[in-house]
Structure 1
Amino acid sequence: MTSSTLDTAPTFAIVVGEHSGDTLGAGLISQLKTHYPDAKFIGIGGPKMLALGFESLFDMEELAVMGIVEVLGRIRRLLHVRKSLVEYFSANQPDVFIGIDAPDFNLTLEEKLKAKGIKTVQYVSPSVWAWREKRIFKIARATNMVLSLLPFEKAFYDKHNVPCTFVGHTLAEQIPMVSEKNTARSALGLDVAGDEKVVALMPGSRSGELKLLIPDYLETAKALLKKHNNIQFVVPMISQEKADMFNVLHQSLAPEVNVHVVVGQTHQAMAASDCLLIASGTVTLEAALVKRPMVVCYKVNGLTWQIAKRMVKLKWVSLPNLLANEEIVPEFLQHDVKVEHLTKAIEERLFEDQSQLIARFESIHHELKQNADEKSAQAIIALMNS
């Protein structure tokens, strides 16, 4: 069946929990609109989705909580939001519900909606291959289909007979194979002399991440400047609110360090840089696609860390390492996020040959370049019309 099967314009319900999901959601909406120009898109979305006419019932930031302990602090509000969505979509049934990432929130929502006869899709596989493997049974109950971004995930779903389509990643389409450094520097207004290096400080997009990582990042910047007078720092922030949060901490902790803060220009800041000091997350995949060396950090609440350490069975946390199945970028987690570790790792990437690493990044880029938006849209249309 094709998109013409439906007599009326369909309604697509979509829920995303953070900015990486907003990027996926916007790409998907753009493609679905080519098939259904009059379709309605409603649920929870971010600024990129809203710009395409998406109707958000709650602010996306409501769901942008990381860590077990942190979620517990917001549990009543999160349960209220989910209950409200179940009631709304039960009364106003969409043609299909698509949960993008945020599995702890979306899978329960999908299970409740599927029980009411609504077709459900989980776009971005939960890391069932890494921890809480038994969630595969909940995923089977909750979804009609999983859309996976990473090639090794599909084999796991096939083993458990759960419908899954590998679609690649929309960022692999959006980011060019070569990101020109000098063009990006000019666009950001960075004046970089011949032997000067640019380091991007990227402490994440969630408030919790920022508070935990910004002090370590600023101390690392101070340590680097003590040894090298030819380094500039650029700080890309996802929003003005987060930029303000960074500026307050910068002024109180390291006002002597000159930083160039930019808002909403993450890809250009990456492209302008020689090395990135970066929080673990989807952003590390963006960095690999931009082909820049990186040093990955991850910090959470102490109790969350103790719980996660016992449950997660991963060798690595960053997507470049998971995709390469070896450590191609250094990772420093929790207590290992120390200035001396970060400084040494950044220096190695600034002043040593990185051509082998760049070649690995190119390979990852080709692997993920699958026309993800169109592939996802076609899979959803086929499910909706089945």
Structure 2
Amino acid sequence: MTKPVTIAIVAGEASGDILGAGLVSALKQRMPHARFVGIGGPDMLAEGFESLFPMERLSVMGLVEVLGRLKELLHIRKTLVEYFCAEKPDVFIGIDAPDFNLPLEQKLHDAGIATVHYVSPSVWAWRQKRVLNIKQSTDHMLTLLPFEARFYEEHAIPVTFVGHPLADKIPLDIDVAGARDALGYRAEDQVVALMPGSRGGEVKRLGPLFLQAAQRMLQQQPQLKFVIPCANAQRREQLEQYLAEMSDMPVKLLDGQSHQAMAAADAILIASGTATLEAMLHKKPMVVSYRVAWLTYQILRRMVKSEWVSLPNLLAGKALVPEILQDEATPERLAQETLDAMENNARHREQADQYMAIHQTLRRNASEQAAEAVMGLLKKQGGIVCATE
């Protein structure tokens, strides 16, 4: 009896879990009896994935912040190396989390296991010499963005631009009225979405800041209403504590529902990250902000070669949306930039046209494209005989 194909996957955070679930689903259609094992979150688990560790143990952000968890992270990686070297999966797929996954891929590649990295690290922006390690450790790179694929082609690394699953999921035309109705807003309401991130550290740095910016906005426009989608119960409790310290504010906290919040909003004040891509796909005016630990910022500002940090600007190749970072991110500055973004209709129309063009470029049925690339590598490695095995 032929041994079922085993696909090892490690995803480090919620966005990787979404990508992993889509990929597992697409691969299961091609290989119904394949086994999927590694580290994943609830979406991957719902697809029958076996997770050896809780995914949240890998979810840590920042150069300095990771030091407090380094011993645990190294233990998890060592355990995975030993497990996968013993199990010999047909392919290993590291989803994002490059500082964790790329060294893991190197060890598994050295052990004769085919490796794929899904979601390019920002080698085009900083630490470009990492591309040499990627070339040695990764058999195939899957990129979400077109300019990333061009970078790998220039370095003779096998690559597939798969597009972005969010561009597949989010419709080209947004039902704003339906979203407002679902959240209890009227057509004439002016709504600002505050999105300070999904991690505890992000919300600690940006939550109070965004709420203080909202207070300043209310001083100028008392009719404004605010909505905050909470990534989970812990983030909701965190934000409730911050709100309890402020005077009564028209803020609605949601459990999840980030896409409805974006669709309903007239403007979005948002943490830099994947959520800025979601806001762009919803064709919304936005102001992007971020704060990290002081030492982390000092290190990054000397290493980053890119002029922008937010995905809308990187994809457009110009300053399409405002980026207010670190010490420049004051409540007053964020409030004024957000009000300006909401009221500048001419700029919004220009942005919306460019948002639509980018959306169409990224809309490629990413999970299917990624699955086909993995299947191609498996066939090349002799791991499968046919797609229905």
Q: Report the TM range for the smaller structure's normalisation.
A: over 0.9
> What is the CA distance between 1:255 and its match in structure 2?
4.3
| Selected match of 1:159 from 150, 154, 160 | 154
Offset at residue 7 of structure 1 (A): 4.2
Cα distance in structure 1, aligned partners of 2:243 and 2:59: 23
Which one is further off, 312-321 or 234-243?
234-243
Shift of 1:215: 1.1
Aligned residues: CA RMSD: 1.2
State yes or no: 1:261 paired with 2:256: no
1:337 Cα deviation (Å)?
0.6
Partner deviation per Cα, 1:88-111 (whole Å, 9 max, x = no partner): 111112111100000000000000
Determine the structure 1 residue equivalent to 2:214. 221
Percent identity between matched residues is: 52
Hey, what does 1:47 align to over in structure 2? 42
- Counterpart CA distance in 2 for 1:156 and 1:193 is 45
TM-score (ref. length: structure 1): 0.96
* Structure 2 gap ranges (5+): 381-389
Q: Does structure 1 residue 183 correspond to structure 2 residue 178?
A: yes
Unpaired stretches in structure 1, ≥5 consecutive residues:
1-5
- 1:240 maps to what in 2? 233
Q: Is it true that 1:200 corresponds to 2:193 in the alignment? A: yes
The 2-side partners of 1:16 and 1:282 are apart by: 15
Q: Which runs of 4+ in 1 moved over 6 A?
A: none
Which residue identity is paired with 2:12? G
Residue pair 1:212, 1:299 contacting (<8 A) in 2 also: yes
Structure-to-structure mapping, 1:1-386, within 5 angstroms:
7-188=2-183, 190-192=184-186, 194=188, 196-252=189-245, 254-353=246-345, 354-386=348-380
Answer with 179-188 or 129-138: which moved more.
179-188
Partner SS, residue 47 of structure 2: coil
Q: Distance in 2 between matches of 1:329 and 1:112?
A: 40
Is the Cα contact below 8 Å between 2:180 and 2:187 reproduced in 1?
A: no
Greater displacement, 346-355 / 293-302: 346-355
- What displacement does 1:279 show? 0.4
Q: Give the structure-2-normalised TM-score.
A: 0.95
Q: Identify which range, 174-183 or 315-324, moves more after superposition.
A: 174-183
CA deviation vs aligned residue, 1:70-120 (integer Å, no higher than 9, x gap): 011111011011111111111112111100000000000000011111110
Cα 1:193/1:174, change in 2 over 3 Å: closer
Residues 289 and 7 of structure 1: is their aligned pair in 2 closer, same or farther, counting only changes over 3 Å?
A: farther
Query: Does the residue aligned with 1:74 lie in a helix, a strand or coil?
Result: helix
How far the C-alpha of 1:51 sits from its partner, in A, is 1.4
Structure 2 CA distance for partners of 1:255 and 1:51, relative to 1, 3 Å: farther
After superposition, the C-alpha distances for 1:1-43 in whole angstroms (9 at most, x for unaligned) are xxxxx94431111111111111111111111111112221111
Secondary structure of the equivalent of 2:229? strand
Aligned residues: 378
- Any conservation in 2 of the 1:30–1:52 contact (CA below 8 Å)? yes
Report if the CA contact (8 A) 1:197-1:350 is conserved: no
Using the TM superposition, give the Cα deviation of residue 193 of structure 1 relative to its aligned residue in structure 2, in angstroms: 5.5
1: CA distance between counterparts of 2:379 and 2:3? 13
2:177–2:187 contact (8 Å) kept in structure 1? no
Task: Tell whether the 8 Å contact from 2:116 to 2:142 is kept in structure 1 after alignment.
Answer: yes
Instruction: For residue 68 of structure 1, give the secondary structure of its aligned residue in structure 2.
Output: coil
